[in-house]
Chain A
Amino acid sequence: MSKSANYEVPWVEKYRPRVLSDIVGNQDTVKRLEVIAQDGNMPHMIMSGTPGIGKTTAVLALAHTLLGPDVFKEAVLELNASDERGIDVVRNRIKSFAQKKIALPPGRHKIVILDEADSMTSGAQQALRRTMEIYSNTTRFAFACNQSNKIIEPIQSRCAILRFSKLRDIELLQRLRQIAEKENADVTDEGYEALIFTSEGDMRQAVNNLQSTHTGLGLVTPDAVFKVCDQPHPLLVQNLLESCHKADIEDALSKLDELWTHGYAAIDIIQTLFRVARNTQSLEESLKLEYIKEIGWTHMRILEGVATIVQLSGLVARLCKMSIDPKVFKV
C-alpha cells in the first residue's frame, strides 16, 4: 500500500476483517460460522441485528474462506437495498446467477448475499422462496437484516437464524485501539470514551468517527470527537440535568442557552439528553423515568416540526418542577 497517495481508503473498508477470527464481538455466533467454514456445507442463513455490528462482514469472510479468493468474485452475488430488488430482479438476476455454472471447490456452493433483506417487498420475498429450494444444491442464500421478523415465515423456515447483538464497549475499544495504533493516530483515553459514546455500539460509526476526527483535527480528544460528530458534549448535558435535579432553573436555562448558541439542532440536543439521562447514576429510578417521559414528549414535538428553544426551555422547566415540592405551587 503506497503511503504517498493523498487520498485514503475509508478505514472501515481498509480494516474490514477478512477472516472470521478477526471479527470482534458476538463470539458465539462467529464460532458457529467457523464450524460451518470447516464443514463447508453452508446452510441458508438469516443474520439479524442492528447496523454496524458485522453481519455483512461475517458472511463475506465466511464466503472468502469457503471459496478462496479466485472463485469468490464469480461465485458470490451481493445485492444491496440500493440495488434494484423488485420481483423481476429476483426472478431474473438471482435465477440466472443460480443457473450459472462455475467451477467450485468440491462440496462448496455459490452464495447469494442479500443485504438489508427486510426492505424487500413481501412479493419479492415470496418469489424467492421457490428459487431457494430449486437451486439449493448449488446455491445458498444469506440474508442480512435489522429485524428478522420482517422476513416472511416461509423463508425463515428455510434458514438458520443467527442473531448478532450490539457490540460491547470493551469490544469497540479493543478494535479502535488496534486501528489507531496502525494509523499512528493519537487518541486520549477520554477520546476513546467519546468515540464509544457517540457510536452506540455501531462499529462502522465508531471507525468513521475516529478517522474523521483524526484527519480533521489530529489529536482525538472528547472535544474534538463531539465537534466532528456535531453532537453536544455529554458533560454539558449532564451538568444541565444536575441543575434540573437541584431545581436551579436559572442555571439550567443558561446552560441550555449555551448549548443552543453553539448551534446544535434541537433534535441533537434532545437525543443526547435522552442518552445521558438513561445512563446517569445521579438520578433515582422513579425520577429518572419521569425525566425520560418528559424528554420523549419533547422529542415527539420536535419530530412534529417545532424544533425551537421554547420547547427545550419548557422541557427544562418541567424537569425542574419535578424536584420542587408541589405544595409550593398551591395558591
Chain B
Amino acid sequence: MWSEFYAPSKVSELAVHSRKVGDLRHWLEESFSDTKLSKYRKLLVLTGTAGCGKSTAVKLLAKEMNVDVIEYLNESTYKYSNEDEYGESTSKRFSNFLGKSATYKPLSFDNERSNKQLILVEDLPNVLEYTTREASHDALRGHCLDGRTPNVPIVIIVSDSGVRGTGGNADEMVQTTNRDVVDARTVVPRDILDGPFCTTIHFNPIARTFLKKHLNALLDRHRDDNPYGSFKRPHDEAIDVIIDTASGDIRSAINTLQLASQMALPGSLSTGGHKRKAKPLSKSTRVDMEKTLDVLARREVSLNLFHSLAKVLRNKRHGFDDEDKVCSCEDLPHVSLPEHLEYKRRAPSHVHPTRLYEDIPVDVETYLLFLSHNYPAFNQDCDDAAVVADALSWSDSTSIGYNDSKQLSASVFEYVIRKTLHALPCPSIKRGQKIRKPAFFFAEKERRNGIESIKQNSRLAVTIHGQVDTNAIIVDTLPMLSRIWERE
C-alpha cells in the first residue's frame, strides 16, 4: 500500500505543519535535557483526527534525535498452562510494561547506541473497561510522579474517533452518560491531564496545499519507480477532488490516490504523466471522473450529505426550468384533491423522498439534525418555518426509543422531507444561503466539558447531598451557590 510504501523517511518530508513539528521537537528536547524542566516533560498526549501524521511525526523525530522507541502492544492473552502463576492480567499488563521499560535499558550491542528512550502508546489498553481503565490510570499517575532520571517520557496517541465532518454522532452525543468514546480524557486521568507533568499537542487536519504538494511528490516518485509501468497519472483536477473528499486525512487521500491510479480514471494522462500542466478537463470528462471517485472514495459524511441537503432545500419542482422560470408544465396526471384542501396543491417535486432515504450517508437522526439547522435560511416567512419546525418536532417525539424499527424511521423521514418540501417556497429564494454544520455538536461538546469539570470539582456537593447527582448540581446547587456568593 502506498501509504506505507511511500511513507516519509525524514522529518523534512512530513506533511505536518512545521510549527507542530517544532513544538513536538521542542518538547522531546526538553524532556531529554538535564534541566529541571525535564521533570515536567513526562507525558505527552497527541490528539487529532485520524491520518494527520501523529504517529509518523513521533517516530521520525525520535529517529532523528537518536531515541529508542519502545512501543506498547496488547499481546494476545494466550493461555499459559496455569495462568495464575505466570500470566499477567490484562489490567496489570500496562503498568508492568511501563515499569519494566522505564527501569531496564535494552541490551546494547554497540556503544554508539543511545541511552535515550521514549515509550510510545498507540495500541491503547482497553480503557472502556472499568478495571483496566483504573489500572492504566494508576500506572500513568505513578509514572508521572516518579522522579527517576534519566527521563523516559511517554507519548500517547489518541485519534479522535468521531464521525467525519460532524465531529460526533447525533445519538451518541445525546446520551450524556456515554463513556464509550475513546478520547484523551478516558485514556489519561483528569488530574494528570491538567497537571504539570502532561502536555497535550493537538494536530490539525492536514492543509489542502500540503496535501496537494505531497500527493504530487508521491506521484512523481511512483513514476520514477516504474518507468515502464502502465502508470496513468490522475488529472490535476482529480487530485483536487481526492483532497476535497479526504478532509485533511493524508492516509485516506493516499489510499484513494492509489486506487484511482490503479484503475485509470477518466481524464488520466497516459503518457506517464510527466507534464503537470495539463489541459483542463472537458465538462463531461470531469463529471465522469467525479462519478468514479464518488463510488471509490465517498467518505460517508461530507460532500454527499451536503448535496442531498441542498437538493431538499432548493426545492426544485416540475413546471420550473433550471433557472427557476416558469415553463410549460408537462402533461402530468391531475390528481383530485378535496376542495377545502385545494390551496395546498403544489407542483410535483423533483425530489424523490424514498430514493433520498436510501441514499443518505448518515442515519436519519443526524440527517434531520442537519436539516433542522439549515432550513430557516431557506424559508420565506415565519408561518412556513413553523410548519417545518412542527414536522421536525413530530419526528423527535415519534422516533425516540425506536431506533431499531427501520420501517418507522423510514416513515418519519419521508414525512419530514415531504412536509419540508411542501413548506419551502418554490422557486427557492436565493440570497446566498450556505449549508452549515449544526451548532449542536459544538454546544454539546461544551456542555460535556462543563459537566466533566463539575464532576471534578464537586467535593462540595458531595458533602451536601451525600452523593453526586450532576443534574442536581447544575440545576440547584450551583445557581444557589452563586447567589449566596453574590450576597457576600
Cα A322 to Cα B407 with chains together (Å) = 24
Q: Is A284 an interface residue (CB 8 A)?
A: yes
**Contact among B77, B159, B410, B418 for A288, CB-based, below 8 A:** B418
CA of A187 to CA of B169, assembled, Å: 45
Q: Is A41 an interface residue (CB 8 A)?
A: yes
Given known pairs A148-B300, A161-B298, A284-B335, the reply for A43 and B348 (CB within 8 Å) is: no
Interface residue B398 (Cβ < 8 Å from any Cβ of A): yes
Whether A160 and B338, one on each chain, are in contact in the complex, defined by CB atoms closer than 8 angstroms, is no
Question: Chain B interface residue count: which class?
Answer: 35 or more
Tell yes or no: B38 within 8 A of A by CB: no
Q: CB-nearest residue of chain A relative to B409?
A: A296
Which residues in window 162-202 of A have CB below 8 A to B? 162-163, 165-166, 201
State the CA gap A39–B344 with chains docked (Å). 57
Contact present for A91 and B402 (CB under 8 Å):
no
A8–B192 Cα gap in the complex (Å)? 64
Smallest CB separation, B234 vs chain A (Å)? 14
| Complex Cα gap A286–B414 (Å) | 12
Which residues from 261 to 303 on chain B have a C-beta closer than 8 Å to any C-beta of chain A? 262-263, 291-292, 295-301
Contacts of B6 in A (CB 8 A): none
Q: How far is the CA of A281 from the CA of B333 in the complex (A)?
A: 9
Interface of B: prevailing SS: loop
Nearest Cβ distance between residue A186 and chain B, in whole angstroms? 31
Q: Which residues of B contact A282 (CB under 8 A)?
A: 335
Decide: B161 and A278 in contact? CB cutoff 8 A.
no
CB atoms of A162 and B255 under 8 A apart: no
B258 close to A126 (CB less than 8 A): no
- The answer, yes or no, to whether B488 is at the interface (CB within 8 Å) is no
Range class of the A interface residue count = 35 or more
* Shortest CB distance B223–A (Å): 17
A55 within 8 A of B: no
| In-complex Cβ contact of A274 among B75, B297, B410 (8 A) | B410
Specify which of A153, A156, A159, A295 is in contact with B411 (CB 8 Å cutoff).
A295
Instruction: Give the Cβ gap from B68 to chain A, nearest Cβ, in Å.
Output: 18
Q: Provide the bound-state CA to CA distance between A39 and B260, in Å.
A: 12
Residue from the list A43, A44, A91, A157 in contact with B51, Cβ < 8 A? A157
B211 to chain A, nearest CB (A): 14
Q: Does B394 contact A (CB under 8 A)?
A: yes
Nearest residue (CB) in A for B340 is A325
By the criterion CB–CB under 8 Å, are A156 and B338 in contact?
no
A322 to B336, CA, bound (A): 13
Is there an interface contact between B333 and A43, defined as CB atoms closer than 8 Å?
Answer: no
- Docked-complex contact A296 and B159, CB < 8 angstroms: no
What is the bound-complex CA distance between A53 and B34, given in angstroms?
63
Query: Which residues of chain B come closer than 8 Å to A160, judged between CB atoms?
Result: 255-256, 259, 296-297
Q: Are A271 and B4 in contact (CB under 8 A)?
A: no
- Tell me which of B4, B337, B346 contacts A137 (CB under 8 A): B4
Assess whether B354 is in contact with A278, with CB atoms less than 8 Å apart. yes
Interface pair B300/A149, CB less than 8 Å apart: yes
Contacts of A201 in B (CB 8 A): 358
Which stretch of A10-18, A27-35, A226-234 is in the interface? Answer: A27-35
Chain A residues near B122: list those with CB within 8 A. Answer: 130
Q: Is the beta-carbon distance between B411 and A296 smaller than 8 angstroms?
A: yes
Q: Are A296 and B398 in contact (CB under 8 A)?
A: yes
Which one, A212-220, A297-305, A311-319, is touching chain B? A297-305
Q: Is A87 part of the binding interface, using a Cβ–Cβ cutoff of 8 Å?
A: yes
A162 vs B262: C-alpha distance in the bound complex, in angstroms?
Answer: 16
- CB-defined contacts of B49 to chain A, threshold 8 Å: 153, 157
Cβ contacts B1-30/A at 8 Å (1 or 0 each): 100100000000000000000000000000
By the criterion CB–CB under 8 Å, are B128 and A35 in contact? no
- Cβ of A136 under 8 Å from chain B: yes
Which residues of chain B in 236-268 are interfacial with respect to chain A, using CB atoms and an 8 Å cutoff?
249, 251-252, 255-256, 258-259, 262-263
A156 and B164 contact, Cβ closer than 8 Å, known pairs A28-B291, A289-B415: yes
Assess the B73–A303 pair: CB atoms within 8 A: no
A153 to B344, CA, bound (A): 45
CB atoms of A43 and B258 under 8 A apart: yes
Q: Which residues of A contact B296 (CB under 8 A)?
A: 32, 160, 162
Q: In the bound complex, how far is the Cα of B300 from the Cα of A149, in angstroms?
A: 7
Interface mask (B407-430 → A, CB under 8 Å = 1, otherwise 0): 110111011001101100000000
Tell me if B160 counts as interface (CB < 8 A to partner A): yes
Q: Give Cα A325 to B408, complex, Å.
A: 29
Contacts A126-B124, A126-B182, A153-B163 known; A293 to B394 CB distance under 8 Å? Answer: yes
Which residues of B approach A to under 8 Å, CB–CB? 1, 4, 49-51, 73-78, 122-124, 126, 128-129, 159-164, 169, 180-182, 249, 251-252, 255-256, 258-259, 262-263, 291-292, 295-301, 333, 335-341, 344-346, 348-349, 353-354, 358-359, 361-363, 366, 394, 398, 402, 405, 407-408, 410-412, 414-415, 418-419, 421-422
Instruction: A44-B255, A122-B182, A163-B295 are known; give 14 further A-B pairs, CB within 8 A.
Output: A41-B262, A43-B258, A91-B75, A123-B182, A156-B164, A158-B51, A162-B295, A274-B407, A284-B345, A285-B346, A285-B349, A285-B422, A293-B394, A299-B411
